């Protein structure tokens, strides 16, 4: 082993792989050569299994890693939102629930079972203004990430004539943590990426939380659903890279030819809550929750254990009912 007699020229940029050449760049740290070698083998194995995967699954996987990267940067406000509507007329909203983390330096009517804060009755005009003010407030402070579980209907409500709280937003996340803008995140798509689902099917919130080992109760209450939606997002976004996280959560559940997790029959109990009908009350109500500054360790025992320390972040949650 000795030095070369002549200098070896540095390769030009044409021969180097740069971040701009990649669809997404999600940093990982390995403490020693053995860990790096093992990771490379795992990546090569997974690359073979996802070769030829449906484009929907590919896009979900890319989005999963983008969310991990942005969450790790500890920027912006992450606001989970859920609406509940009367089952006989889905244009009549009955509840609005929210739960947020901000980084700084169809079932029974269960409004009486809101678990995570104060429930507050408001009239329709106040209801609309409170939602508008909330979104305007946090988007002025930096990037705002709106977190939903199956976002389609909730986004429609935010853009409806009854609320008009959301005009411009993006479904496509940037490669690097943004400094401004409003972005939509769907935990249904996140979980589909994690379990390797390449079709249009997505798990219900109850089932996704069950597979993530997040205990739930009194679902289909807007405040509770928002809380659990944010908890599910944090559990996935704060974990390892997608393939590593999947294998840690559900070891030996995938085949040699694809990455779809095969759950046991007892893990796939029917979502009875999803089949329950919302019972109309004597008045239409929507609830916005009062702001409560967490973290209070005693009040957050059900939140997932994550590596990220979110005690530096302001956490709020709430539920609003609307008078007719």
What tens digit of pLDDT does each residue of 48-100 get? 777 777 889 999 999 999 999 999 999 999 999 998 877 776 667 788 888 99
Instruction: Find out whether 226 and 98 touch, Cβ atoms under 8 Å.
Output: yes
Tokens representing residue 308 in the block:
């990220």
Instruction: Find out whether 318 and 96 touch, Cβ atoms under 8 Å.
Output: no
Go through the chain and tell me how many residues it has.
324
Gap between the terminal Cα atoms of the chain = 84
Is pLDDT at 110 greater than 50 in this prediction?
A: no
Measured CA to CA, the distance from residue 29 to residue 42 in angstroms comes to 15
Q: What is the sign, positive or negative, of the torsion defined by CA atoms of 138, 85, 287, 277?
A: negative
Model pTM score: 0.74
Instruction: Find out whether 288 and 87 touch, Cβ atoms under 8 Å.
Output: no
Is pLDDT at 179 greater than 90 in this prediction?
A: yes
209 CA to centre of own chain:
11
Residue given tokens 């609307």 in the structure block: 322
Measured CA to CA, the distance from residue 204 to residue 130 in angstroms comes to 28
Q: What is the sign, positive or negative, of the torsion defined by CA atoms of 123, 125, 126, 129?
A: positive
Q: Supply the Cα-derived Rg of the chain in whole angstroms.
A: 22
Measured CA to CA, the distance from residue 156 to residue 181 in angstroms comes to 19
State residue 44's pLDDT score: 81
- Residue 151's nearest CA partner among 129, 176, 170, 130 is 170
Domains of the chain, by residue range, sit at: 56-323
Measured CA to CA, the distance from residue 219 to residue 76 in angstroms comes to 27
Tokens representing residue 220 in the block:
């289909």
Measured CA to CA, the distance from residue 126 to residue 257 in angstroms comes to 54
State residue 184's pLDDT score: 96
- The number of C-alpha atoms within 13 Å of 38 and in the hemisphere containing its C-beta is 8
State residue 94's pLDDT score: 80
Measured CA to CA, the distance from residue 280 to residue 109 in angstroms comes to 8
Tokens representing residue 109 in the block:
């009517």
Paired strand residues for 83: 96
Q: What's the average model confidence in pLDDT over 309-319?
A: 56
């Amino acid at each position: 082993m000795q030095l070369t007699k002549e200098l070896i020229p540095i390769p030009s940029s044409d021969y180097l792989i740069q971040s701009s050449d990649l669809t997404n760049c999600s940093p990982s740290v390995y403490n020693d050569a053995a860990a790096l070698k093992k990771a490379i083998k795992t990546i090569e194995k997974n690359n073979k299994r996802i070769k030829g995967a449906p484009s929907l699954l590919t896009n979900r996987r890319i989005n999963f890693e983008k969310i991990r990267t942005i969450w790790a940067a500890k920027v912006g406000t992450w606001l989970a939102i859920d609406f509940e509507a009367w089952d006989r007329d889905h244009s009549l909203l009955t509840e609005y629930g929210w739960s947020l983390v901000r980084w700084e330096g169809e079932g029974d009517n269960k409004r009486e079972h809101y678990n995570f804060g104060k429930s507050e009755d408001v009239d329709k005009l106040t209801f609309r203004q409170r939602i508008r003010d909330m979104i305007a407030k946090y988007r002025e402070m930096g990037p705002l990430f709106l977190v939903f579980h199956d976002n389609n209907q909730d986004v429609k409500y935010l853009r409806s004539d009854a609320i008009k709280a959301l005009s411009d937003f993006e479904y496509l996340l940037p490669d690097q943590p943004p400094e401004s803008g409003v972005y939509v995140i769907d935990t249904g798509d996140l979980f589909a990426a994690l379990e390797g689902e390449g079709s249009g099917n997505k798990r219900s919130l109850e089932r996704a939380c069950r597979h993530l080992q997040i205990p739930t109760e009194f679902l289909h209450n807007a405040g509770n659903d928002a809380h659990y939606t944010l908890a599910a997002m944090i559990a996935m976004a704060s974990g390892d890279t997608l393939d590593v996280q999947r294998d840690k959560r559900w070891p030996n559940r995938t085949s040699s030819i694809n990455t779809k997790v095969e759950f046991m029959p007892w893990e796939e109990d029917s979502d009875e809550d999803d089949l329950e009908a919302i019972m109309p009350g004597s008045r239409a109500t929507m609830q916005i929750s009062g702001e409560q500054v967490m973290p209070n360790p005693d009040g957050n025992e059900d939140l997932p254990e994550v590596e990220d320390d979110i005690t530096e972040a302001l956490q709020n949650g709430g539920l609003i009912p609307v008078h007719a």
